Amino acid sequence: PTMSHGVMAWRGAVRAVSSTTASTSSFAGVTRRVGVGGAAKCGGGGARRMAIHARDPGDEERVTSTDNATVKHFAKLVKSKAHRDANGSVVVAGAGLLEEIYANGGVEDARVVFLGEDAETPRGMRARRVVRAPEHVLKKAAGLQSVDRVDVVAELATPPLDGIEALGAVASTATRILALDGIQDPGNLGTLTRTALALGWDAVALLPGTCDPFNDKALRAARGGVFRLPLARLTWEELETFTTSRGLVRYCAEPTAPDAVGADVAVSSAAGVCLVLGSEGQGLSETALRTCRPVAIPMPGEMESLNVGIAGGILMYLMRKER
Among 118, 135, 157, the domain boundary falls at 157
Domain contains 4: no
Mean pLDDT by 10 residues, the chain (323 residues): 39 32 42 40 37 48 94 94 94 92 86 92 92 94 82 94 93 94 94 96 96 91 92 96 94 81 72 90 89 85 77 92 71
- The angle formed by the CA atoms of residues 301, 306 and 311, to the nearest 5 degrees, is 110
**In the listed set 129, 157, 185, which residue is the last one of a domain according to the structure?**
157
C-beta separation of 32 from 59 below 8 A? yes
Predicted pLDDT of residue 22:
37
Same domain flag for 131 and 242: no
Q: In this structure, is residue 15 part of a structural domain? A: yes
Same domain, 148 and 228: no
Q: Cα angle at 111 between 105 and 113, to 5 degrees?
A: 90
What CA–CA distance (Å, rounded) separates 94 from 46?
Answer: 23
- Dihedral (C-alpha) 107, 229, 240, 88: value to the nearest 10 degrees? -40
Are 44 and 101 in the same domain?
yes
Q: 105 with 170: CB under 8 angstroms?
A: no
Instruction: Tell me how many degrees the CA angle 53-57-59 measures, rounded to the nearest 5.
Output: 75
Q: At what angle do helices 135-142 and 69-79 cross, to 10 degrees?
A: 40
Chain mean position to CA 168: 17
Residues 53 and 121 in one domain: yes
Q: Which amino acid is at 268?
A: S
Note whether residue 3 is domain-resident. no
Q: Which of 113, 130, 157 is the last residue in one of the domains?
A: 157
Same domain, 53 and 87: yes
Q: For residue 261, what pLDDT is reported?
A: 77
DSSP-derived 3-state class of residue 317: helix
Task: Check if the beta carbon of residue 24 is closer than 8 Å to that of residue 32.
Answer: yes
CATH at residue 237: 3.40.1280.10
Residue range(s) defining the domain that contains residue 150: 9-157
The closest of 93, 88, 65, 90 to 76, measured between CA atoms, is 90
Residue 2 lies in a domain: no
Instruction: For residues 252 and 290, state if they share a domain.
Output: yes
Cβ count within 10 A of residue 79: 12
Is residue 177 within 8 Å of 202, Cβ to Cβ? yes
Q: Does the global pTM surpass 0.85?
A: no
Are residue 64 and residue 177 in the same domain, yes or no? no
pLDDT score for 269: 64
pLDDT at 299: 72
Could you give the number of structural domains in the chain? Answer: 2
Q: Are residues 33 and 131 in the same domain?
A: yes
